[in-house]
């Protein structure tokens, strides 16, 4: 896996037709870029999106998946279904999943273990709320979320793991942490991985920053020590803006 990664999280935006148009636009723009470029549309678009990108330098992903193999889980999608549909990536533990749908660290851990079994590249999202930030709990929260999500994960499975640091208060708000705050969070995440695994694993892990990244602030964020790329929501919906963001990280 490329150490650098820039991943678009469409959330509940864009129809199948719109995703195809988007990808046709994006494919020539990212040709030859030395980075993992991911596009993560809604479940119903994954299959056609995967067919549209074929041999292009873009991996398609899903925004969530169920931790069970199959069964009576109305409305849910399994890891095997994602792989069969052509997904290569899955986003797990996004703060919107945690906050709106009540996903716990334990469930996220189960999902991660399942995704790793089928070789999906898992983008594990962690991040503190504003209240946690204001009460100096950021380090503790990141360490706890990581440790619980990574339970029973082996070091050799890190080849398929990406960590996304996304402060809850920065998502969709236009608020971005200071360079120092992002740098500190990256260091915290690496030190937790080092404690749980090894220095080598910590150094080799791709860690993204996400939360209000746009075409204007991307190059500054790309320069922060420890940041290997970005998970982009709102600004990724436009191919022009997303390409500018990609180019800020891949020079
Ligand atoms: P945003 O979302 O870029 O719209 O803030 C990022 C995310 O939720 O992954």
**Which of 211, 207, 202, 250 is CA-nearest to residue 234?**
211
Q: Which residue's C-alpha comes closest to atom 1 of ligand 1?
A: 233
Give pLDDT, residue 146: 98
Q: What is the pLDDT of residue 1?
A: 82
Element of type H or E holding 232 = strand 229-232
State in Å: Cα 205 to ligand 1 middle.
21
What is the average pLDDT value for the chain, to the nearest integer? 97
pTM greater than 0.95:
yes
* Percentage of the chain modeled with pLDDT above 70: 100
Using CA atoms, how far apart are residues 187 and 192, in angstroms rounded to an integer? 9
10 Cα distance to chain centroid: 11
User: What is the distance between the alpha carbons of residues 135 and 226, in angstroms, rounded to a whole number?
Assistant: 24
Question: What's the pLDDT band for 17 if we cut at 50, 70, 90?
Answer: very high
pLDDT digits (tens, 9 = 90+) for 184-207: 999 999 999 999 999 999 999 999
Q: Which entry of 94, 103, 128, 132 is annotated as an active-site residue?
A: 94
Q: Is 94 a catalytic residue?
A: yes
pLDDT confidence bin for 62, thresholds 50/70/90: very high
Q: Which amino acid residue places its CA nearest to atom 6 of ligand 1?
A: 233
* Residue 104, pLDDT above cutoff 90: yes
Q: Is the pLDDT of residue 251 over 90?
A: no
User: Does residue 2 have a pLDDT over 90?
Assistant: no
Q: What secondary structure does DSSP assign to 112-136, as a single string? A: HHHHHHTTPEEEEEE---HHHHHTT
**What are the phi and psi torsion angles at 26 (to 5°)?**
-75, -35
Q: Within 13 Å of residue 242, how many CA atoms lie on the same side as its CB?
A: 26
- Among 127, 234, 236, name the best residue to mutate to test ligand 1's pocket (greatest count of ligand atoms within 8 A of Cβ): 234
Please check the confidence at residue 229 and state whether its pLDDT lies above 90.
yes
pLDDT confidence bin for 162, thresholds 50/70/90 = very high
Q: Is 80 exceeded by the pLDDT of residue 129?
A: yes
The CB of 171 under 6 Å from ligand 1? The reply is: yes
Q: How far is the CA of 48 from the centre of ligand 1 (A)?
A: 24
Work out the pLDDT band at 60, boundaries 50, 70, 90. very high
Ligand 1 center–CA 166 separation, angstroms: 8
Per-residue pLDDT at 37: 98
């Amino acid at each position: 896996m490329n150490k650098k990664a820039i991943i678009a999280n469409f959330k509940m935006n864009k129809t199948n037709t719109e995703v195809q148009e988007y990808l046709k636009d994006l494919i020539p723009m990212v040709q030859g870029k030395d980075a993992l470029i991911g596009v993560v549309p809604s479940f119903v678009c994954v299959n056609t999106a995967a067919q549209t990108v074929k041999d292009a330098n873009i991996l398609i992903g899903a925004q969530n998946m169920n931790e069970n193999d199959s069964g009576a889980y109305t409305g849910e999608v399994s890891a095997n279904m994602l792989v069969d549909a052509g997904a290569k990536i899955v986003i797990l533990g996004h703060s919107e999943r945690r906050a709106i749908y009540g996903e716990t660290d334990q469930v996220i851990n189960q999902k991660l273990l399942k995704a790793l079994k089928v070789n999906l590249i898992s983008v594990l999202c962690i991040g503190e709320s504003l209240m946690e930030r204001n009460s100096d709990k950021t380090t503790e929260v990141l360490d706890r979320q990581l440790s619980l999500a990574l339970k029973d994960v082996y070091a050799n499975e890190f080849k398929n793991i990406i960590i996304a640091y996304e402060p809850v208060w920065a998502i969709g708000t236009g608020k971005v942490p200071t360079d120092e705050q992002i740098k500190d969070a990256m260091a915290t995440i690496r030190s937790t991985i080092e404690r749980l695994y090894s220095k080598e694993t910590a150094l080799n892990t791709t860690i993204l920053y996400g939360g209000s990244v746009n075409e204007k602030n991307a190059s500054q964020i790309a320069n922060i020590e420890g940041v290997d790329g970005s998970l982009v929501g709102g600004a990724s919906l436009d191919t022009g803006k997303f390409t500018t963001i990609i180019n800020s990280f891949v020079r």
